[in-house]
Amino acid sequence: MNLRLLFLVFFGAMCFSHTPLIAQSATFSGTVQTEDGKPFPGATIRLSGTGYGAVSDINGQFTVKSVPPSVYQVLVSSVGYLTQKETISLKAGEALVRTYRLREEALQTDEVVITAARREQLNSEAPVSIAVLGAKDIEVRNIVQLDDALRYTPGVQLSDNQVNVRGSTGFSYGVGSRIQFLVDGVPMLNADTGGIAFNLVPTAQIKQVEVIKGPGSALYGGGALGGVINVITKDFPEKPETSFRSYVGVHPPVRYTEWKQNWAGSQRNRYFWGANISRSEQVTPKLGYWMNANYTQTEGYFQNSDGYEGYLAAKLGYQFSSQLKMETLITSSLTHKNGFVYWASGRDALRVAKTSLLNGSSDNEVRRLAILPVFTFLVNPSVFISLKNRFYGGTTIPIWNGALVERDQWTTGARFGSELQVNIDLKAKRYLILGAGFDQNATNSKRFFGGDDTNFAQPEWAAFGQYEQQLFKKINLVAGFRLDHYEISSNEVVQRFSPKLNVSYTLNPALNLRVAWGYGFRVPGITERYVNNSEFLPVIPNTQLRPEISNGYEAGLKGFFVLPIEDWAGQYDVAAFSNQYTDLVEPKFQNNARAFQFVNLTKGQINGLDVSVSAGRKDGRLLFNLAYLFLDGKDRSDPNNVLPLNYRSKHLLQASISVSPLRRLEVGVDFRYASTFERVDSDFGNFIPDATLHLPTKVWDTRLRYDFGKIQVSLLVKNAGEYYYMERPAILAPTRNFILQLQSNL
């Protein structure tokens, strides 16, 4: 009832308040050019903190209409170019025209980010550690699914599809994500498992991916135990754009006879292919859209891993008035795949475990749908309101003997909710953000919950606030909190208060120092709490699960430098951090019940150092990135017996180089190294052969790309060194594969 009232008040306010401002509005237009005065298409022009903006067209021109008179900060940005920043003053009826020249930078210096403070700001001003992955990083590496892109993000490691930010997650079978996952700022963790459906994200329409490193529940609530990933989708271009990408790839047979002798499919090449088409357009000044369709199919590089999947996604934007704008992202996906959960043994690593006792495969068809309507409303030039709504549902249908099972064995989960956020520019570099949200989360599964009660729900209410103030022109202070209230069951609630405090000090324009402190938490998902199933291994429910809690401190510095080599420049980010984790959930075998159960088991501490350096020529023909993460993870569950934290590498190194020896030719190499897990101690090792084996990751990816004008052709070799390794227990990570990719932008 309260929510309905809120809606009425909100929309009522919009209906009655926007008309006068239209009559007084101004127009802001201009041209974006390259350094040598040529038109610059595709640059983003934003009036910071308002939602007003445009993308420059093929002639470099842009227009922002119906802007309320006020003073604005303009940000003109494009990946690979130095962001231009200017303060403008718009008067009623004025048509202000400006020209901006973007200077090419070898690096993605000072991108505009939005996740760190729930408002647009330059990365260099963000008072927390944030890694940004741009659209080009995704395109040139033939990234089909977002999790693959995260492997190239500094400080991030993947264990299969569980994301580790600074070692936050480790690996836990069946446990939900310890990283909050947002799409355009809207939380998108699955209703049932609390995991991330990476295949729902339209990769061709990603503008950038922002990764906040460290606990982030003060702004983003449950799930942000170790960090936050925010996928920001593209805006609508002034001129229509159509792009097409297709690829075909092959995994050649593995080199070891032992792995090939029990599965005939391993004796030959294993193929995979896919196609992606996108169309985007600003149809009228008020209406814009993009659409994206994707299909992929694979034979799988090991037994029982073949299948197909696809998604359809669209984003529609409509400017109702100078004050009110709506953007709705709709995305749906279908995955029909055999699932290889764990191997028969390390000597038989390509064959799935299949015995009368153990079933190492999980064959499912998964259907998902997300509808995310976001309304933004400019009350006046200083007050900006956004209402983010969400419906996100999914159904998992087991495939038994090649056919979908009856409906009563389907697992269906859905979550829906809204979040209202008010951004108030108090002027004099002071910002206040207030917000509240509601989220219903429900899952139905006879298959996993058994018994008579197959419906479980976990509704949540939240309120949050953040205040920023600049002191003495050089110090930026950010304080925030969030209060979350979960109804675990009819007679049990969980409340969490998550504060944060960030202070940054701008020593000079090229160096920024920061200290940050924040809380994080994760409420165990419905599946962890109520699962009662023995399809793969026997698992029993634990309704007494408590939230996982984290507490993180960080001190860091980031800045820019110019190398004593002509036309070379670079940037760096160094952070020392200490994160404490309490009540981490792990699956534990209970001897008395002869079954696994999710329990609050681990108390951990991770101290570490996170360093990333980028350097290159300003013309972009040579780029170099290096990131190193040192983790000292301690399991302090038993104070008398402190052990290394499970499933964490001590050293993580990521390096990449990109060279353009000719104008149209680009060659790139990526390298990832992760040291052996410091400790592998799992009850699963008592049930799955060789589940405790692990060794360092040393993976090289190479790529060669030639631009023929309207068509770009790429040849990629992933895992070029034919290195065999495991990202998580009892499954081989992708073997060497060759990919031929064609891309066309029309």
487, exposed or middle or buried, with CB in 10 Å at 0-12, 13-18, 19+? middle
Residue 114 or 622 with smaller CB distance to another protein:
622
Q: Which amino acid is at 574?
A: V
Residue 211 or 717 with smaller CB distance to another protein:
717
Rounded distance, CA 422 to CA 117, Å? 13
Residue 527 or 697 with smaller CB distance to another protein:
697
Residue 253 or 465 with smaller CB distance to another protein:
253
Q: List phi, psi (to 5°) of 686.
A: -85, -5
Residue 230 or 625 with smaller CB distance to another protein:
625
Residue 467 or 684 with smaller CB distance to another protein:
684
CB of 82 to another protein, least distance (A): 24
CA dist 604 to 170, 333, 580, 585, 692, Å?
Answer: 11, 37, 6, 11, 20
Rounded distance, CA 120 to CA 31, Å? 22
CB of 664 to another protein, least distance (A): 14
CB of 490 to another protein, least distance (A): 37
Rounded distance, CA 388 to CA 418, Å? 6
Q: Considering only CA atoms, which of 66, 64, 88, 54 is closest in space to residue 21?
A: 66
Neighbours of 614 (CB within 10 A): 21
Rounded distance, CA 712 to CA 538, Å? 50
Residue 486 or 700 with smaller CB distance to another protein:
700
x/- letters, 336..365, toward another protein (CB under 8 A): --------xxxxxx---x-xxxx-------
Residue 238 three-state SS: coil
Contact call for residues 558 and 574 (beta carbons, < 8 A): yes
Residue 87 or 356 with smaller CB distance to another protein:
356
Residue 518 or 668 with smaller CB distance to another protein:
668
343, exposed or middle or buried, with CB in 10 Å at 0-12, 13-18, 19+? buried
Contact call for residues 411 and 448 (beta carbons, < 8 A): yes
CB of 614 to another protein, least distance (A): 17
Among the listed residues 371, 657, 740, 742, the single contact to another protein using CB under 8 A: 657
Residue 359 or 454 with smaller CB distance to another protein:
359
Say how many residues touch another protein, by CB under 8 A.
Answer: 43
Stretch that binds another protein, among 186-194, 295-303, 511-519, 682-690 (CB under 8 A): 682-690
Question: Does residue 540 belong to the site contacting another protein (CB under 8 A)?
Answer: no
CB of 721 to another protein, least distance (A): 5
Contact call for residues 363 and 338 (beta carbons, < 8 A): yes
Question: Does residue 661 belong to the site contacting another protein (CB under 8 A)?
Answer: yes
Residue 116 or 732 with smaller CB distance to another protein:
732
CA dist 181 to 111, 200, 292, 299, Å?
Answer: 20, 12, 21, 29
236 contacts: CB under 8 Å, gap ≥ 6: 55, 280, 281, 282, 288, 289, 290, 315, 317
Residue 473 or 594 with smaller CB distance to another protein:
594
Reported in sequence order, the residue ranges of 78-226 that DSSP labels E, i.e. its strands, are: 84-90, 95-102, 112-113, 121-122, 130-134, 156-159, 162-165, 179-183, 186-187, 206-213
x/- letters, 603..632, toward another protein (CB under 8 A): -------------------x----------
Strands 270-282 and 61-67 come out as unpaired
Residue 263 or 318 with smaller CB distance to another protein:
263
x/- letters, 570..609, toward another protein (CB under 8 A): ------------------------x---------------
Among the listed residues 659, 713, 740, 742, the single contact to another protein using CB under 8 A: 659
Contact call for residues 165 and 156 (beta carbons, < 8 A): yes
**Core vs surface per residue 391-415: b (16+ CB within 10 A) or e:** ebbbbbbbbeeeeeeeeeebbbbbb
Residue 706 or 724 with smaller CB distance to another protein:
724
CB of 343 to another protein, least distance (A): 10
CB of 620 to another protein, least distance (A): 14
CB of 692 to another protein, least distance (A): 7
CB of 319 to another protein, least distance (A): 48
CB of 357 to another protein, least distance (A): 5
Stretch that binds another protein, among 68-76, 222-230, 251-259, 294-302 (CB under 8 A): 251-259
Q: Considering only CA atoms, which of 658, 677, 671 is closest in space to residue 698?
A: 671
Stretch that binds another protein, among 79-87, 275-283, 604-612, 681-689 (CB under 8 A): 681-689
Looking at residue 104, the DSSP 8-state letter turns out to be B
CA dist 129 to 161, 227, 231, 318, 348, Å?
Answer: 22, 10, 16, 34, 42
Question: Does residue 667 belong to the site contacting another protein (CB under 8 A)?
Answer: yes
61 beta partners: 31
Rounded distance, CA 8 to CA 28, Å? 32
Stretch that binds another protein, among 21-29, 94-102, 520-528, 653-661 (CB under 8 A): 653-661
CB of 685 to another protein, least distance (A): 8
CB of 491 to another protein, least distance (A): 37
Half-sphere exposure of 654 (CA within 13 A, CB side): 18
Map the footprint of another protein across residues 684-723, applying CB under 8 A.
685-690, 692-693, 695-696, 698, 700, 702, 720-723
Point out which residues bind another protein (CB under 8 A): 255-256, 258-259, 344-349, 353, 355-358, 594, 622, 657, 659, 661, 667, 669, 685-690, 692-693, 695-696, 698, 700, 702, 720-726, 732
